Amino acid sequence: MGVRFGIGLAKVVAALVLALAVFLVGTYFQVRGALPPYSGHVEAAGLKAPVEILRDKNAVPHIVAGSIEDAAFGLGYVHAQDRFWQMELLRRLGQGRLSEVLPPMLIGEGVLNSDRTMRGLGVYGHATDSLSALSSGTRASSSATSRWCSTSRKAPTAAAGKPGCRCCWSSGGFRSWDQARRPRRSPWIRR
């Protein structure tokens, strides 16, 4: 009786160890596949001069560009490489469209309440209106930073990481007012 129990326990432990090993290997490849490629060459329309993005051993980007607008484009490009999903989520939050991608049945009714609040406050509309108060140079830099999206969608190995972007539910490109929206909803920034 004790021998059977020991053999049965050994089989259960072996199965659990095997399941854990399969899970860890699968997780490694899933996470590794989600990382954007940091090497390569991408052609982008609208640049005045070539932009070089170098990454150090910690993957911190260093942007070398001939103008402020080109550097702003490079900054938007590395933002897309590193945090496209977060930018898309924050954009949808500001627009009051978060429940389109986070189903309230799974996440909870808080998503719908957030959408109603953001739409009721008119956060996205205020962000578009606030662009007119910026200087022309700031507007140009903001526009250049936002242009990365069209480039990343045309280059499957670029900022999106995979064809069609890592964030498969993305709708439309980023605009200058998507960046202007964020500070207005941040409680720690006073105006």
CATH of the domain at 113: 1.10.439.10
Which of 163, 144, 150, 158 has the alpha carbon at shortest distance from 42? 158
The percent of residues in the chain predicted with pLDDT above 70, rounded, is 75
What are the residues whose beta carbons fall under 8 Å from the beta carbon of 69, sequence distance 6 or more?
48, 140, 141, 144
21 in the same domain as 7: yes
Containing structural domain, residue 16: 1-34
pLDDT above 60: residue 130? yes
Name residue 150's amino acid.
Answer: S
Task: Indicate if the pLDDT at residue 74 is higher than 70.
Answer: yes
Task: Specify burial of residue 90 (Cβ count, 10 A radius: 0-12, 13-18, 19+).
Answer: middle
Gap between the Cα atoms of 115 and 140, Å rounded: 30
- Please write the tens of the pLDDT for every residue from 148-177: 665 654 444 444 444 334 444 445 566 655
**Is the Cβ–Cβ distance between 112 and 104 less than 8 Å?**
yes
Per-residue pLDDT, averaged over 81-86, amounts to 81
Q: Give pLDDT, residue 2.
A: 66
Q: Are residues 69 and 14 in the same domain?
A: no
In this structure, is residue 26 part of a structural domain? Answer: yes
Whole-model pTM over 0.85? no
Domain contains 43: yes
Q: Give the model's pLDDT for residue 156.
A: 41
Q: How many domains does the chain have?
A: 2
- Residue 72 shares a structural domain with residue 123: yes
Q: What is the mean pLDDT of residues 4-26?
A: 89
Alpha helices in 44-154 (DSSP H): 68-95, 104-107, 110-121, 123-130, 136-146, 148-154
3-state secondary structure of 63: strand
| Residues 90 and 149 reside in one and the same domain | yes
Q: What is the DSSP letter of 100?
A: G
Band of the pLDDT at 66, cuts 50, 70, 90? very high
Mean pLDDT of 76-102: 84
Residue 65 — pLDDT band, cuts 50, 70, 90?
Answer: very high
71 and 126 part of one domain: yes
The SS3 assignment for 180 reads helix
pLDDT score, position 179:
56
| Mean pLDDT, the chain, whole residue set | 76
Measured CA to CA, the distance from residue 119 to residue 3 in angstroms comes to 67
